[in-house]
Amino acid sequence: MKSKPKIIEDYESASRRVIDALHPEIQRYVCKFDGAYWIHSPLLITFDLSGVDAAKEINTAYMRKKALAEKVLANIRFDPLGYLVLIEKPYRMDAFIEIQDRLSDAQYWRNLEFVFSITEYVHENKAKWLELLKSKRRFRQLMMTRKDRKSFEKMPEILTIYRGYQHGKYHHKMGISWTLSKKKATWFAYRRSANGSPKVVVGTCKKTDVLCYTDDRKEQEVIIDPANITNIRKVPDIGPSPFQGAGD
């Protein structure tokens, strides 16, 4: 049997020494992905587990951040955003759910908008997001900036909306994030085209069914339950990739 290359043995040995020296609370978050050891926890995500002083540095960083999070959490009504930014991005929706009952209606919508806007893979928790976005709490309009509210008020009662996606392995045609712009939908369709064939669909919806509208990132984003979108059909020709020649 062939022995492993020395570089692999060195990495394994160094990583195991670090893992053994981690605080027990952190050890339970250790995982292995693509041959590398990771710590993937709500308070800390890192893949550097082979440094000489890695365990000490990780333990110190984690415990310091934990103490700060607990302090902010104890007075969450004063600074919910301060708590949420301490949480690593993949865990922020769970953190929001944890504190939602302690928030005022205005805080609920402002902080939900923050968490939603930085979430990359909304489709992974689509049902939960719809539950949060359909809350009956007052002041839903606070998810939108004043500028976006004014723009939204001027829109017609029936909207034409688009969604770009990849038909294939990651097929998420019926997502909750759409756009008023065909051009932007095309951009999203090609953004990860390696995962499948880029497609754009178009549909119509009532303005009253829109849960939120935001143009904060110049995406003219419409957040809506796809069950409320009608006349959905594929755009036959979406044109060439907007990324062609981007690196030339």
State pTM to two decimals. 0.87
Q: In this predicted structure, what is the pLDDT of residue 248?
A: 35
CA dist 2 and 95 (Å) reads 47
- Are residues 228 and 159 part of one domain? yes
Dihedral-angle region of residue 168 (phi above 0 means left; psi in -120 to 50 means alpha; beta otherwise): left
Helices (H), the chain: 6-21, 24-27, 54-74, 80-84, 92-99, 105-117, 126-133, 146-153, 182-191
Chunked mean pLDDT (size 10), the chain, 248 residues: 53 88 95 90 90 89 96 96 96 97 97 94 92 97 96 98 81 89 93 76 97 94 97 91 62
Q: In this predicted structure, what is the pLDDT of residue 239?
A: 84
Q: In this predicted structure, what is the pLDDT of residue 8?
A: 47
- Are residues 169 and 131 part of one domain? no
Residue position matching structure tokens 């908008």:
113
Q: Provide the residue type at 64 as one letter.
A: R
CA dist 217 and 181 (Å) reads 13
Q: Provide the residue type at 157 as one letter.
A: E
Residue 158 inside a domain? The answer is yes
Q: Is 248 exposed, middle or buried (0-12, 13-18, 19+ CB in 10 A)?
A: exposed
Q: Which domain holds residue 95?
A: 75-141
- Are residues 172 and 97 part of one domain? no
Q: In this predicted structure, what is the pLDDT of residue 247?
A: 44
Residue 245 inside a domain? The answer is no
CA dist 234 and 121 (Å) reads 22
Residue 241 inside a domain? The answer is no
For residue 18, what are its two tokens? 């670090």
- Are residues 227 and 164 part of one domain? yes
Q: In this predicted structure, what is the pLDDT of residue 102?
A: 97
Last residue within a domain, chosen from 38, 66, 94: 66
CA dist 218 and 232 (Å) reads 24
Residue 87 inside a domain? The answer is yes
Residue 1 inside a domain? The answer is no
Q: In this predicted structure, what is the pLDDT of residue 120?
A: 84
- Are residues 59 and 80 part of one domain? no
- Are residues 104 and 35 part of one domain? no
| Domains held by the chain: number | 3
Domain CATH code at residue 197: 3.20.170
H/E stretch holding 119: none
- Cβ contacts of residue 179 below 8 Å, gap of 6+? 161, 162, 163, 164, 185, 188, 219, 220, 221, 222
Q: In this predicted structure, what is the pLDDT of residue 87?
A: 97
Q: In this predicted structure, what is the pLDDT of residue 240?
A: 85
Reported as half-sphere exposure (CB side, CA atoms, 13 A), residue 244 has a value of 5
Residue position matching structure tokens 């000489």:
52
